[in-house]
Amino acid sequence: MVIAYRMLDGQIFRLLFQKSGRLDFAVIAAVIGVALSRDLIAAAGVGIGMAILLFIRDQVRGSVIRRKRYLDEISSKTQRGERERAILRSVGDQGVVCELQGNLFFGTTDQLFTQLESDLRTKRFILMDMRRVRSIDYTAVRLLEQMHQELAERHGQLLFSQMPSGVLEGRDFETYLKEMGLIGGKGVKICDTMDSAMEWMEEQILTAHGVSIEQKEKLLELKDFSLFREFSEEELSNIKECVSEVSLKRENRLFSTGDSGDEMFLVRRGGVRILLPVAGNYRHLATVSQGSFFGELAFIDNETRSTDVDAKWDTDLYVLSRRRFNERSRANATIGVLVFARLAKAIALRLRDTNARIE
C-alpha cells in the first residue's frame, strides 16, 4: 500500500477528464494494479508492453508521408528556359516528391505502399526525402527494395535525399542501408539535398524529350531571350550597344559577395550556380541555365553583390551594363519601360516559385 501510494500523483486524475489522456491513465492504473497484486518487475513489464502497443497504434493511424507533390507542381532551384519549363509542366508528373516522417517499420510499410502503389505503376521517378525519418527496420528496407526494382523495370529510379544520421542504435542511416544492399551499385540513388534530387529528375525528363542539359553548342542571341523578345531590330541594336560578352570555364567564379557592379548577366550557353555564404559554408540558392538571367537586383539598385556565382559548366554570358543602358534609354524611353516591365514580371514569377517551394 505504501508503494502504491508513493506511485500516485494527484495530477494523473485529470487525465480522466481529457479524451486524449484516458489511455495514458489506463496504462498508469494497470501498472499500479499489477504492482499491488504481483510485484514491481511484472508491473514494469506490463507498462512497457502497453506503451509499445499504444506506440504502434499511433504510428499505424498516422501517415508516414508528410507531403506528396509532382514536378509539374513544384520545381528545383534551377531557372530554365521557356521550352524546358513547358516540357516540365506537360510531363513533370513523371517525377514524384515524397517527404517522409516518423518511423518506417512493419507497422507502417503497408500504408506507405498503398499510398504510392498507383505512382509505382505509372511514374518514372520517386524521390523520398528522409530528413524527418527517425528510424527504419528490415521490413521497410525490403519494401523500398521492391519499389526500386519495380521502377527499374520501367527504366525509372528511386531516390533518397537528406539522409539522417545517428539513428538506428547509433548506426549511420546510410551505412545501414548499404549493409542491407539497398544503396550502392545500381541501387537507390542518394542526393545530399531535396533540391539536387529534383534537379536530377528534371534533367532526366528533359533529356528524354530531346533537351541537351550540360552543353549546348548554339549560342543564344539577344532576340532569343524572353527579356527582349518581340523587340524591333532597332531596339535590339540599341541594347546590343550596352552589352559586352564574357566566357567562364567550369568552376570559375564570376563575382563574390560584396563585389560592386551594376551589370545583369544573360546566359547564352552553359549555366552558373548562385551560392549564399553562410557560417563558413555555402547554401545553393539557384542554378541559372541557358536562356535565363541573373544579377538583376544589382542592375536595379546598384548595390553590392549579395551572393557568389560560379560556373557550373563552361559558360558564355552577355553582360548588360546599367550605366550604358541608362544612356540608351534616355534617347529611347520605350526601351527602358519594356525592359523594366519584363524584369518586374520575371521577378514576380520567381517569387511565386519560391513561395510554392516554401509551402
pLDDT at 60: 57
Q: Torsions phi, psi of 289, nearest 5?
A: -110, -175
- Which residue do the cell numbers 566566357 mark? 247
pTM: 0.64
Lowest mean pLDDT among 24-38, 246-260, 298-312: 24-38
| pLDDT exceeds 50 at position 170 | no
Mean pLDDT of the chain: 80
Q: Where in the chain is the domain with CATH 2.60.120.10?
A: 222-358
**Angle value at C-alpha 294, between 317 and 79, nearest 5 degrees:** 100
Pick the CATH number of 222-358 from 1.10.10.1110, 3.40.50.970, 3.40.50.300, 2.60.120.10: 2.60.120.10
Higher pLDDT among residues 291 and 357, named by residue: 291
pLDDT at 306: 87
- In this structure, the strands spanning 293-294 and 271-278 are unpaired
Residue pLDDT, tens place only, 274-315: 888 887 777 888 888 888 888 888 888 888 888 899 998 889
Alpha helices in the chain (DSSP H): 2-7, 22-37, 40-61, 82-91, 109-122, 138-153, 173-179, 194-208, 233-240, 296-301, 322-331, 333-358
| pLDDT exceeds 70 at position 36 | yes
65-208 belongs to which homologous superfamily? STAS domain (3.30.750.24)
| pLDDT exceeds 60 at position 204 | yes
Measure Cα distances from 294 to 27, 212, 265 in Å.
61, 21, 5
The mean pLDDT value for 76-105 works out to 84
Angular region, 47: left φ>0, alpha ψ -120 to 50, beta rest: alpha
Q: Where in the chain is the domain with CATH 3.30.750.24?
A: 65-208
pLDDT at 169: 47
